[in-house]
């Protein structure tokens, strides 16, 4: 389905306002009475040589600096070395890796280690759904770790051009 020039300008304005393709699809139907599939909207935006704006991922909060250690807290005075030498630049504590070969039934997969040291496998299936398979049955990562995982995963996939 083709749009006239005024309708194309409206779509261009919506893209400039930062709307997502699904929002544009809904607006085309409600305001202009034009029903299009998501793919048709995507092709329309491509034909108009428009680029949707990417929403910046939320920046992780800066870590709170620990007070300087006193002489009684220095390593060797009852404080374990791991506690004294904890890196302060470790913001999330979540690490993500991508498998060379995707698990069966998925488009891409990998592994994640959460801040509490628990591990899980992750995958994205053919419909684009993200799934987690924890190594420990019944494990649910903290909400902050899930958010950090999603940010780290997006960064890893971005490095791969996905």
Asked if the model's pLDDT at residue 78 lies above 60, the reply is: no
Provide the edge-to-edge strand list for the sheet that holds 95-98: 95-98, 106-113, 119-125, 130-134
How many Å from the N-terminal Cα to the C-terminal Cα in the chain? 29
> Which 8-state DSSP code applies to residue 91?
-
Higher per-residue confidence, 78 vs 140: 140
Asked if the model's pLDDT at residue 60 lies above 80, the reply is: no
Q: What does pLDDT average to over the chain?
A: 77
Q: Specify the pLDDT at position 55.
A: 58
Into how many domains does the chain fold?
2
Any domain includes 78: no
* Lowest mean pLDDT, pick from 54-58, 113-117, 143-147: 54-58
Mean pLDDT (whole number) for 3-24: 83
Any domain includes 21: yes
Any domain includes 32: yes
Same domain, 95 and 154: yes
Same domain, 40 and 97: no
Q: Specify the pLDDT at position 17.
A: 83
Residue-range definition of the domain harbouring residue 137: 91-159
Any domain includes 58: no
| Confidence bin at 63 (pLDDT 50/70/90) | low
Any domain includes 66: no
Question: Cβ-count burial of 96 within 10 angstroms (0-12 exposed, 13-18 middle, 19+ buried)?
Answer: buried
Mean pLDDT (whole number) for 129-149: 90
Any domain includes 34: yes
Any domain includes 52: no
Higher per-residue confidence, 62 vs 18: 18
Any domain includes 80: no
Same domain, 98 and 43: no
- DSSP helix/strand/coil, 65: coil
| Confidence bin at 73 (pLDDT 50/70/90) | very low
């Amino acid at each position: 389905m083709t749009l006239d020039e005024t309708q194309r300008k409206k779509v261009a304005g919506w893209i400039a306002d930062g709307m997502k393709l699904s929002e544009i699809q809904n607006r085309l139907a409600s305001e202009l009475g034009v029903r299009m599939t998501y793919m048709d909207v995507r092709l329309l935006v491509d034909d108009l040589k428009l680029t949707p704006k990417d929403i910046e991922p939320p920046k992780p909060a800066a870590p709170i600096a620990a007070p300087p250690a006193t002489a009684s807290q220095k390593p060797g005075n009852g404080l374990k070395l791991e506690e004294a030498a904890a890196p302060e630049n470790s913001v999330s504590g979540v690490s993500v890796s991508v498998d060379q070969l995707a698990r069966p039934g998925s488009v891409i997969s990998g592994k994640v280690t959460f801040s509490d040291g628990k591990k899980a496998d992750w995958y994205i299936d053919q419909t684009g759904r993200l799934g987690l398979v924890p190594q420990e049955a019944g494990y649910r990562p903290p909400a902050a770790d899930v958010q950090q995982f999603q940010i780290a995963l997006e960064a890893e996939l971005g490095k791969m051009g996905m």
